[in-house]
Structure 1
Amino acid sequence: MNKEEQVILGFRDLYNKIVSLNKDKMEQSLKGHTSSEVHCIEFIEKNVDSNVTKLAESFYMTRGAISKITQKLIKKGIIESYQKSDNKKEIYFRLTEQGKDIYKIHENLHQEFHERDKVVFEQITEEQFDSMLSFVETYSRHLDSEIKKQSIDLTSQ
C-alpha cells in the first residue's frame, strides 16, 4: 500500500472511530433527531439568514432533501421560517427556543469530545498543524473542483 492509500484509509479509519465513539452519547442526548437534523440546527444557529440553498450547498445535498429536513424541523417546533421585509420571495430559518436547547446539547457534546481528545492535540507542533491544515485545504479545493465538474456534467446531460 502506498502512502496516498495509507492517508486515505487513515482518514476513513479515524472518521469511523470518531463516529463509533461519539454515536451512543449523541443518540442518547439527542433522541428523536437525526444527524442531518442536528447538523441543520447547528448550521442555522451559526449562519445568519440560513436558507435552503445555503444549507444544500453546505451539506452537498439537493435543495429537495434539505426542504424535507427543514419541514420536519418546523413541524417539530425546532426552527421557524421568516422573510425579510425587502425580499418577500426568499425564506430563511432561525431556531426556536427548543432549537436553541438542542443546539446547546450538541455543542456541549462536542466540547466533551474535544476535552477527551485534547491530549493528542496538545502533542502536535505548530509546524505539524500547519502541514496538516495545508494538506486538508489543498485536498478540499480539489474535491470542490471535482464536485463542480460533476454537477456541470449532470446538468449537460
Structure 2
Amino acid sequence: MNKEKQLLMNFNDVYNKIVMLNKPKMEESLKGHKPSEVHCIESIGKNGSANVTQLAESLYMTRGAISKLTKKLLEKGLIESYQKLDNKKEIYFRLTESGKEIFTIHEELHNEFRERDKVVFEQLTETQFDSMLGFLETYSRHLDEEIKKQDVPHH
C-alpha cells in the first residue's frame, strides 16, 4: 500500500476512533440535541452571532438546511434572532441563556477529551507539529479549490 493511501486510511481510522470514544459521553451530556444543532450552537457561540450565510459556510451546509436548523433552535429557545441597526434585511442569531449552557457543556467535553489525549501531543516536537499543520493547511486549501471548481453547494 502506498503512503498516500495509508495516510488517508489512518486519518479516517483516527477520526472514527475519536467519534466512537466521544459519542456516548456527548450524547449523554447533550441529550435531546442533535449533533447538527450542537454544531450550530457552537458556531454561533464562538462568533458571538451569525447569519444564515455565515452558518452555512462554517458548517458546510446549504442555506436551506441552516434555515430549518435555526428554526428548530428558535423553537427550543436555544437561540434568538435579531437585526442589526445598520442592516434591516439581514437576520442574525445569538445564543439565549439555555443555548449558552449547551455551548458550555460542549466546550467542557472537548476540553476533557483534549486532556485525555494530550499525552500524545506532548510527545510531538515543534517540527512535527509544524509539518503536520502545514500538510493539513495545504490539503484543506486544495479541497477548498476542488469545492469551488465543482460549485458544490455548501452555502
Q: TM-score range by the shorter chain?
A: over 0.9
The one-letter amino acid of 1:59's match is L
After TM superposition, give the deviation of residue 145 of structure 1 in Å: 0.2
One-letter amino acid of the structure 1 residue matched with residue 79 of structure 2: I
State the alpha-carbon separation in 2 of the partners of residues 66 and 101 from structure 1.
Answer: 21
TM-score (norm 1): 0.95
- Cα deviations by residue, 1:129-148 (Å, 9 ceiling, x for unpaired): 00000000000000000001
* Structure 1 residue 18 displacement after superposition: 0.2
| Secondary structure of 2:151's aligned partner | helix
Aligned to 1:19: 19
The Cα shift of 1:62 comes to 0.5
1:80 aligns with 2:80: yes
SS of the residue corresponding to residue 77 of structure 1 reads coil
In structure 1, the residue matched to 2:132 is 132
Q: Distance in 2 between matches of 1:74 and 1:116?
A: 34
| C-alpha distance in 1 between matches for 2:16 and 2:47 | 27
For residues 62 and 70 of structure 1, the distance between their equivalents in structure 2, rounded to whole angstroms, comes to 12
Q: Percent identity?
A: 74
TM-score by length of 2: 0.96
1:8 is matched with 8
How far 1:49 moved relative to its partner?
3.4
Give the CA deviation at 1:48: 3.5
Task: Write the mapping of 1:36-55 to structure 2, written as runs, cut at 5 A.
Answer: 36-55=36-55
- Distance in structure 2 (CA, Å) of the matches to 1:15 and 1:121: 16
Q: Quick one: distance in 2 between partners of 1:72 and 1:78?
A: 9
Residue 146 (structure 1) aligned with residue 146 (structure 2)? yes
Residue 34 of structure 2 corresponds to which residue in structure 1?
34
Partner of 2:117: 117
Determine the C-alpha separation between the residues in 2 that align with 1:46 and 1:33.
18
Higher relative contact order (CA 8 A, sep 6+): 2
Give 1:76-115 correspondences, 5 Å limit. 76-115=76-115
| SS of equivalent residue, structure 2 residue 33 | coil
User: How large is the RMSD of aligned CA atoms in angstroms?
Assistant: 1.0
2:65 corresponds to 1:65: yes
Gaps of 5+ in 2: none
1:82 and 1:18 map into 2 onto residues whose CA distance is: 36
Number of residues paired by the alignment? 153
> Aligned partner of 2:100: which letter?
K
Structure 1 portions without partners, runs of 5+:
none
Query: Which aligned runs of 4 or more in structure 1 are off by greater than 6 angstroms?
Result: none
